[in-house]
Chains A and B, each alone.
Chain A
Amino acid sequence: MSDQRVIMTGNEAIALGAYEGGVTVGTAYPGTPSTEILENLGQYPGVDCNWSPNEKTALEAAIGASMEGARVIAAMKHVGVNVAADPLLTLSYTGVGGGLVLVTADDPGMHSSQNEQDNRHYARLAKLPLLEPSDSEEARDHVLAALELSERFDTPVMLRTTTRISHSRSTLVPGERRELPIAGFEKNPAKYVMLPGFARQRHPLVEDRLLALQKEAENSSLNRIEPGSKDLGIVTSGVAYQYAREALPDATFLKLGFSYPLPKALIREFASKVKEIVVIEELDPFLEEQLQAMHLGVPIRGKELFPLLGELGTEIIREKILNQKTEPIKVREEIPARPPVMCPGCSHRGVFYMLKKLKLNVTGDIGCYTLGALPPLQAIDSCICMGASIGVALGMARANPDSARNTAAVIGDSTFLHSGITPLLDAVYNNAPITVLILDNSTTAMTGHQCHPGTGSTLQGEPSSAVDLENLCRSLGVKKVTATDAFDLDELRDAIKSGVESDSEGPSVIIVRRPCVFLLSSFGKPPAVDQELCTGCGTCMKLGCPALNLKDEKAAINSTICTACGLCEQLCRFDAIKPAARKAGETNE
């Protein structure tokens, strides 16, 4: 291998591909496993990269950049494409100016997601070409191919990765950037103004384009037959190709990189070479069902062997096709699980402690704070999608007006700005007396601490206007807006009670503030436990803080990870947990 080879994640390789391909604009909202695409693209010179408030505005901005003639990439996680689906399906009709690539990063196995939808269906739904790289080198190459396809066929192109592509590292040799002129916007209402009259003229072009793309896929270098034994033909794409190639070194392969529209002639040619076809793909039988419908004259199996759920791997392919079952080392069954937890010093902990204590129903949302659903806090009763906390609370109040007195919606700052404003407006407009807690930790924490419209800076480090959450809520018509400190349990209790017990019409908003512990560079000294005063009652353990433990029926504080947030001190009824400065035995005042 050459010395110029470097190793990078699939996401880094997508960013490199965009850079090499002359992309000048990148748009995204952070979402695992897609986040690092824009973070990396933003490091290259000559590329304007922004975090958008959500995926819809990201794709819309990408459309505008493309209309100006710029090459552009929009990156999002699988569920982010749901948010961007509205512009996407009509973008298919308008086509593009400069090349436009939409990256969808799917998450089979739900490592960090609320569902494991298979976004290849979007390519079919929107009638768009779909590329599926199977390692980092292909990720770069497919972005370059996608940009070319986009411009040649006047179409946005979907590039689909999965977690094991986005977050796996493999090698490639970086290339040079192409600098391309940006043509500038040219008025063309029949192409870009999707009034019914114009849209009716565009739709047949979309259908013709799909046929032309199918011809293109037939001869695309992204699709290839890898010769092998006639006994078994494997059709596969994405990371599943790698698992299958490792498990089945002797089989004949049809490796699809350009996987929609399918290269049907190539598939027929492949079918004529093999006695049996097995389709190996994660999640839905996207390829398999299309192959079955082609009546290829050879037996086709796929989901008959492999699950519809989760990720595949080399093991299951060896087992199902070669009947080689590995007998891995067996370990004891009782190993305590290690679910993710809120960090020591997390600004969300006290809120969920209090919500549970007040016995409220809590509609939750997407972010680190969703961990408030896990033991011991167990204080969240719903989590659907970005922004749903407010809409769900609103619906509960409409179905049962009494529910507003025992329900709180909880949403993070970045999630609120992503899609919480509209349902809050809904609550104002419809006089719903719901209580909304905006947990403002000044960052998009779960995805790795990205800035957002409330933080005062942009992805590329430019200062920007930070939205004022109180004024934003007031301007929507929320009459009762208060702010509290996330680390002051009394203040939190009073604010939440005042919200849910309020007789005023319309929603109350409580902005709960403390920066994410990751944003801080230093902490106070951890408190100490007075062994004599501690009764071992375990009240402090209800916080679910990783820095707290009960040892020999006394509370113990792990001072290497404690950030001195002070919550356990406030909870202790026996004054046994004391700030570090005071010695044990002194009073708390």
Chain B
Amino acid sequence: MKQMNKKEHSNGHKTDILIAGVGGQGTILTGRVIAALAINEGLDVKTAETHGMAQRGGSVITHARLGEKVYSPLIPQGDGDILLSFEKVEALRWLPFLNPSGTVIVNTQQLEPMPVLTGTMEYPTGIRKEIESKAARLIEVDALSHEPVKQNSRMVNTFLLGILARIMPFEKEKWLRVMEQTIKARLVDINKQSFEAGWEFARGKE
């Protein structure tokens, strides 16, 4: 993968991460954890979020960019290193932001958008095949079938974060520490558990 080596971060390179999903799925929190980790690591970081109207069930994207120096908070199309999608069709929608050498992590949950619910369109099929043919690497997961997400669907974001963390060049303990800093105290333990589950899932895919 391009520019994923930690040493290279200090050489003017950036890591560009896109977090896609549906308004209300918790993509913003994931971006915040990544950003806090980058700061702990002495890197520059910027993120851009979707607030307002799209948070009502619309397609949302968080951009997170880390490196020695970051200017634009937005990842240019074709520059993304990792696309982490909380929902299946959203991975396809935001794929043009990914560099063809990049990695896609996709939660296979299908949330049907209104044109599908009303029957004017079909939920797309063959998404996996299309992503596999266009991106260097695809990690698919049905996060909702794994504990603790199975019990508590709100844990999907830290489960996916665990997968993302596994392919980033930072130690697991650093991620866990940063989660303690960014997540509400009473929710830290379950989120850490969820993160660990995601981490282990990704390790199994190596």
| Residues of the B chain whose Cβ atoms lie less than 8 Å from the Cβ of A371 | 53, 56
Query: Is A550 within 8 A of B48, CB to CB?
Result: no
| Residues of the A chain whose Cβ atoms lie less than 8 Å from the Cβ of B98 | 329
Given contacts A1-B44, A5-B39, A546-B117, A335 and B56 within 8 Å (CB-CB)? no
B190 within 8 A of A: no
Interface bits A534-547 vs B (CB < 8 Å: 1, else 0): 00001001001010
Query: Is A7 within 8 A of B45, CB to CB?
Result: yes
| Residues of the A chain whose Cβ atoms lie less than 8 Å from the Cβ of B48 | 164, 167-169
CA distance A546 to B57 in the complex (A): 9
A170 within 8 A of B: yes
Query: Taking CB as reference atom, which chain B residue is nearest A342?
Result: B56
Query: Taking CB as reference atom, which chain A residue is nearest B120?
Result: A375
CA distance A64 to B51 in the complex (A): 32
Partner of B74, one of A9, A35, A314: A314
B134 within 8 A of A: yes
Query: Is B118 within 8 A of A544, CB to CB?
Result: yes
Query: Is B90 within 8 A of A338, CB to CB?
Result: yes
| Nearest CB on A from B42, distance (A) | 5
Query: Is A170 within 8 A of B45, CB to CB?
Result: yes
Given contacts A313-B76, A550-B119, A246 and B71 within 8 Å (CB-CB)? yes
CA distance A419 to B94 in the complex (A): 39
By DSSP majority rule, is chain A's interface helix, strand, loop, or mixed? loop
Query: Is A242 within 8 A of B57, CB to CB?
Result: no
Q: Enumerate A524-566 residues with CB–CB distance to B below 8 Å.
A: 538, 541, 544, 546, 548-550, 560
Partner of B35, one of A7, A33, A541: A7
B95 within 8 A of A: yes
| Nearest CB on B from A280, distance (A) | 12
Partner of B113, one of A313, A336, A343, A376: A336
| Nearest CB on A from B122, distance (A) | 8
Given contacts A32-B53, A33-B52, A340-B58, A329 and B135 within 8 Å (CB-CB)? yes
CA distance A334 to B35 in the complex (A): 34
Query: Is A341 within 8 A of B57, CB to CB?
Result: yes
B96 within 8 A of A: yes
Query: Is A336 within 8 A of B123, CB to CB?
Result: yes
CA distance A374 to B113 in the complex (A): 13
Query: Is B49 within 8 A of A339, CB to CB?
Result: no
B121 within 8 A of A: yes
A243 within 8 A of B: yes
| Residues of the A chain whose Cβ atoms lie less than 8 Å from the Cβ of B130 | 331-332
Given contacts A329-B95, A334-B124, A336-B123, A376 and B47 within 8 Å (CB-CB)? no
Query: Is A549 within 8 A of B112, CB to CB?
Result: yes
| Residues of the B chain whose Cβ atoms lie less than 8 Å from the Cβ of A168 | 46-49, 73
Q: Among the interface residues A164, A170, A329, A374, which one has the most CB atoms of the partner chain B within 10 A?
A: A329
| Residues of the B chain whose Cβ atoms lie less than 8 Å from the Cβ of A295 | none
Query: Is B46 within 8 A of A169, CB to CB?
Result: yes
Query: Is A239 within 8 A of B114, CB to CB?
Result: no
A327 within 8 A of B: yes
Query: Is B78 within 8 A of A329, CB to CB?
Result: yes
Query: Taking CB as reference atom, which chain A residue is nearest B22?
Result: A338
Query: Is B54 within 8 A of A112, CB to CB?
Result: yes
| Residues of the B chain whose Cβ atoms lie less than 8 Å from the Cβ of A135 | 46, 73
CA distance A246 to B63 in the complex (A): 16
B100 within 8 A of A: yes
Query: Is A343 within 8 A of B57, CB to CB?
Result: yes
Query: Is B114 within 8 A of A341, CB to CB?
Result: yes
Given contacts A242-B72, A332-B124, A541-B118, A112 and B96 within 8 Å (CB-CB)? no
Interface bits B94-129 vs A (CB < 8 Å: 1, else 0): 011110100000000001111111111111100000
Q: Enumerate A481-534 residues with CB–CB distance to B below 8 Å.
A: none
Given contacts A6-B39, A111-B52, A169-B46, A336 and B124 within 8 Å (CB-CB)? yes
Query: Is A112 within 8 A of B53, CB to CB?
Result: yes
Interface bits B69-84 vs A (CB < 8 Å: 1, else 0): 0111110111100000
A171 within 8 A of B: yes
A251 within 8 A of B: no
**Size category, B interface:** 35 or more
| Residues of the B chain whose Cβ atoms lie less than 8 Å from the Cβ of A343 | 56-57
| Residues of the B chain whose Cβ atoms lie less than 8 Å from the Cβ of A329 | 78, 95-96, 98, 100, 134-135
Query: Is A546 within 8 A of B114, CB to CB?
Result: yes
Query: Is A331 within 8 A of B57, CB to CB?
Result: no
| Residues of the B chain whose Cβ atoms lie less than 8 Å from the Cβ of A447 | 52
B153 within 8 A of A: yes
Interface bits A245-275 vs B (CB < 8 Å: 1, else 0): 1100000000000000000000000000000
CA distance A206 to B36 in the complex (A): 45
CA distance A36 to B70 in the complex (A): 24
| Residues of the A chain whose Cβ atoms lie less than 8 Å from the Cβ of B118 | 375-376, 541, 544
B193 within 8 A of A: no
| Nearest CB on B from A190, distance (A) | 43
Q: Enumerate A122-178 residues with CB–CB distance to B below 8 Å.
A: 135, 164, 167-171
Given contacts A170-B73, A340-B57, A332 and B47 within 8 Å (CB-CB)? no
Q: Among the interface residues A135, A334, A341, A371, which one has the most CB atoms of the partner chain B within 10 A?
A: A341
Query: Is A326 within 8 A of B72, CB to CB?
Result: no
Partner of A1, one of B39, B73, B124: B39
| Nearest CB on B from A27, distance (A) | 21
B11 within 8 A of A: no
Partner of A548, one of B51, B58, B117: B117
Partner of B53, one of A111, A246, A327, A538: A111
Interface bits B18-37 vs A (CB < 8 Å: 1, else 0): 00001100000001100110
Query: Taking CB as reference atom, which chain B residue is nearest A313?
Result: B74
CA distance A447 to B54 in the complex (A): 11
| Nearest CB on A from B184, distance (A) | 15
| Nearest CB on A from B113, distance (A) | 4
Query: Taking CB as reference atom, which chain A residue is nearest B134?
Result: A329
Query: Is B39 within 8 A of A171, CB to CB?
Result: yes
Query: Is B114 within 8 A of A331, CB to CB?
Result: no
A45 within 8 A of B: no
Query: Taking CB as reference atom, which chain A residue is nearest B90?
Result: A338
Given contacts A1-B42, A340-B23, A546-B114, A111 and B50 within 8 Å (CB-CB)? yes
A sample of 14 cross-chain residue pairs with beta-carbon separation below 8 angstroms, ordered by A number, consists of A5-B39, A164-B74, A169-B45, A239-B73, A313-B76, A314-B72, A326-B78, A328-B78, A328-B96, A330-B96, A336-B113, A336-B122, A341-B114, A546-B57
Binding site for B on A (CB under 8 A): 1, 5-7, 9, 32-33, 35-36, 111-112, 135, 164, 167-171, 239, 242-243, 245-246, 313-315, 318, 326-332, 334-343, 368, 371, 374-376, 446-448, 538, 541, 544, 546, 548-550, 560
| 5 tightest Cβ-Cβ pairs between the two chains A and B | A112-B52, A32-B52, A340-B58, A168-B73, A338-B113
